[in-house]
Amino acid sequence: MAALVGLIVLAPLSAIVVLLIRLDSPGPVYFRQERMGKGFRPFWMYKFRTMVKDAPDKGGALTASGDPRVTRIGKILRQMKIDELPQLINILRGDMSLVGPRPEVRKYVDLFRKNYETILAVRPGITDPASLKYRDESAILARSENPEQEYIQRILPDKLRLGEEYVRQSSLVLDLVVIFKTILAVIPGRYTDKELHSETSSKSLGAS
């Protein structure tokens, strides 16, 4: 129900985004990509397109800051996380929830299948503690000489750790805190990455 209300309330914003994408670059308005869902069931996850047409064929699955495939309007949509809004459709379809471990592509799930046995016991979500910690993931990847290696060896294992913690400690209170922190995160200059992560970790996940 919340997803349906969100789609209705955000319809004017979505209409503006659709127009801007069409004016900015040729190609479809929406981007879809296969992700792995609860119980390792694959599904199509939707986003507003932020990259040039056929971007996956012109580079890897990861996107670092300064990636030439990102369009002008796409850069803004990514910074404000507006590109994630179509995932409310995934919630209506039952593929995702509002809060939950972010869904990953099959390639990386296969590399860490044991960890995902725990994480994919629940539906993936639009936001989670790992999303808050790595909301500037593209900037981290841009500083690496080998972005894919950086992601597989350092970033993804930490995301998996946070995802497993979320599944073990999942509660309504935790979800509400994550939603609140996510809203703050998209307000420019409101919170730093360090503040968001430290508060989410200490108040939401708790000390064990």
**Residue 88: exposure state from Cβ atoms within 10 A (0-12, 13-18, ≥19):** buried
Mean pLDDT taken over the chain:
88
Which pLDDT value is given to residue 185?
Answer: 84
Strands 30-36 and 42-48: antiparallel
- Rank 55-59, 84-88, 198-202 by mean pLDDT and report only the highest: 84-88
Which pLDDT value is given to residue 203?
Answer: 44
Q: What is the pLDDT of residues 80-109, one digit of tens each?
A: 889 999 999 999 999 999 999 999 999 999
Which two three-digit tokens encode residue 74?
Answer: 């796409």
Which pLDDT value is given to residue 202?
Answer: 45
Q: What is the pLDDT of residues 128-174, one digit of tens each?
A: 999 999 988 998 999 999 999 999 999 999 999 999 999 999 999 99
Does the pLDDT of residue 197 top 80, yes or no? no
Percentage of residues of the chain with pLDDT beyond 90: 72
Half-sphere exposure in the Cβ direction for 19 (13 Å, CA): 6
Q: What is the pLDDT of residues 23-42, one digit of tens each?
A: 999 999 999 999 999 999 99
Separation between Cα atoms, residue 96 and residue 112, nearest integer Å: 20
